[in-house]
Structures are given as structure tokens and as C-alpha cells.
Amino acid sequence: MTSTSTNNSCKIWCWVIGVILGLVAFFLVKGGGNFFLALLAGIIVAVVLAWLLVRFFCSADTASTVGGSGSGGAVKPASTSGETSTTLTKAAAATPAPIASSGAAAPVAKPKAAAKPKAAAKPKAAAKPKAAAKPAAAKSAPAAKAVAADGKPETLTKARAGGADDLKMLKGVGPGIEKTLNELGFYHFDQVAGWRKQEIEWVDSRLKFKDRIVRDEWVKQAKTLAKGGKTEFAEKVKKGGVYKK
């Protein structure tokens, strides 16, 4: 590094001197009145003198610096043989390469990464107990029978076990009408509650008082009483406020 800096410094000074002498030549020739000729002369003088100075002064300095006495100018190696040997030995120890039978160095196999331990299997969640089977839906009630062609409702030959219902608890049914209903085959509230339009007309045609069934709402009252309910008129009958037994 020192010899290179010295050589560069020598060249710079040589060029400075050449430029100065070129300026002198420029001004001398310019005194004759020709500017371009003076400029050309100054450039030639500066370049030629600077090149000669560099060749004779700086080249000899560089050769003496680079060349060594008795070495014939050969460049000495940067490091000693001992340092080189030590460095090579360390490199060989760091990366040993096994020699194959063919003489070529076999590539060093990289150590495999340790296998990761498998995660423990998660315990299976306990099976949820199956919901108890829902009981089968209750069978739908049998469809009501179609109305007879003549409109006659279903009748009974006699009252069921336990006796006939007191049909006089229906508003508009007196002892006489109750007797007629029994003769036609009607003894219970649920029979009256099931009458449909044509059947009502069939019964009404056999009574002395027409339109009594619809006007007094026998079917509606009979549905309530058949379920064990109460009606205002039925309560009066029970108390003896309507018909005396």
C-alpha cells in the first residue's frame, strides 16, 4: 500500500510540473499574437514533459519498491509458507471429505434432523347416549263415517250401560221432545254432538217444533255436556228450576 501511494504521488507531481511548463510555453508563444498556436504548443509541452518525467522518475521508484534484492523483481507472496500451511490444516480439519475409491472426494452427508415426537393421540370423546326413541304417534282417530244418503244419523236401539243421559239438560228439550228423541234412537249427549247439517235436517223433520235444534244450539250444548262441562241451562235443570221431576 505504501509503494503504491508513493508512485501515485510521484505521477501527480510530474503532471503538475508538466502543466506548469506547458503554461509557460503557452504564454511565450501567445506573445506572437497567435492564440490557437500558443494553446496547441502549451498542451504538447505539458503532455510530453509530464510523460517523460513519469517514465524516468516514477517508473524506477516503482521497480525498486516492487522488486527485491536478489529476487529478480518477483513479487513476494503476501503470507509465509508456515501461515499458509496452518490455514490449510484448519480448513481440512473443519470440513473433512472422505475419498472415494475412484479418487474423487465424496460429498459429506448432512446429519438428518431429529424426528419430532408424535403428539399423543387425543382421547375420543365419550359417545353421547342416544335419545330414547320417541313413542309412536298415537293413531289418528278413525275418520267419521259419511252421512247416509237419506241423512239419517247413527242411532241406538237402547241406552248404553250406565243409563241414558238427561237430554232435558239441553235448552229447548222438554219431556215430550226427549221421549221422541229416545224413540228415534238418541239417548246420549255425544250422539247429538255429532250431528251434521243433513242429519240435523233429518231429526228436525221428525219433531213437532221445527228449527228448534239450530235455534237453541243443541249440538253446541251437547258437545260441552258430553265432555263433562257445564252450561247455564243445565245447571238450572239440576236445581229443579226448569222441569220438576
Residue 107 in domain: no
153 belongs to a structural domain = no
Lowest mean per-residue pLDDT among 84-88, 111-115, 207-211: 84-88
- The pLDDT of residue 74 is 41
| Listed residues 65, 86, 103: the one ending a domain | 65
For residue 170, what pLDDT is reported?
95
Instruction: Report yes or no on 222 lying in a domain.
Output: yes
Q: How confident is the model at residue 107 (pLDDT cuts 50, 70, 90)?
A: low
Last residue of a domain, one of 43, 65, 87: 65
Q: Answer yes or no: is pLDDT of 171 > 90.
A: yes
Q: What is the DSSP string of 43-88?
A: HHHHHHHHHHHIIIIIHHHHHHHHS-TTTTTPPPPSS-HHHHHHHH
- The residue among 210 and 181 whose pLDDT is bigger is 181
225 C-beta neighbours (distance < 10 Å), count? 23
- The runs of H, that is alpha helices, within the chain are 2-30, 35-53, 59-66, 81-94, 175-184, 189-193, 197-204, 212-215, 218-226, 232-238
pTM (two decimals): 0.42
Range of the domain at 30: 2-65
Residue 206 has pLDDT above 60, yes or no: yes
Alpha carbons 168 and 181: distance in angstroms, whole number = 11
Residue 38 has pLDDT above 90, yes or no: no
Residue 175 lies in a domain: yes
Categorize the per-residue pLDDT at 69 as very low, low, confident or very high, splitting at 50, 70 and 90.
very low
Residue 159, in any domain of the structure: no
Is 207 part of any domain? yes
Is 158 within a domain? no
The predicted-structure confidence for 20-34, as pLDDT tens digits, reads as follows: 887 887 788 877 777
Q: Report which of residues 126 and 161 the model is more confident about.
A: 161
Residue 195 predicted with pLDDT over 80 = yes
d(CA 106, CA 108): 6
pLDDT (tens digit per residue) in 145-157: 899 999 999 999 9
- Mean pLDDT of the chain, nearest integer: 75
Question: How many folded domains does the chain comprise?
Answer: 2
pLDDT at 66: 43
Burial of 43 (0-12, 13-18, 19+ CB in 10 A): middle
Domain end among 45, 65, 85:
65
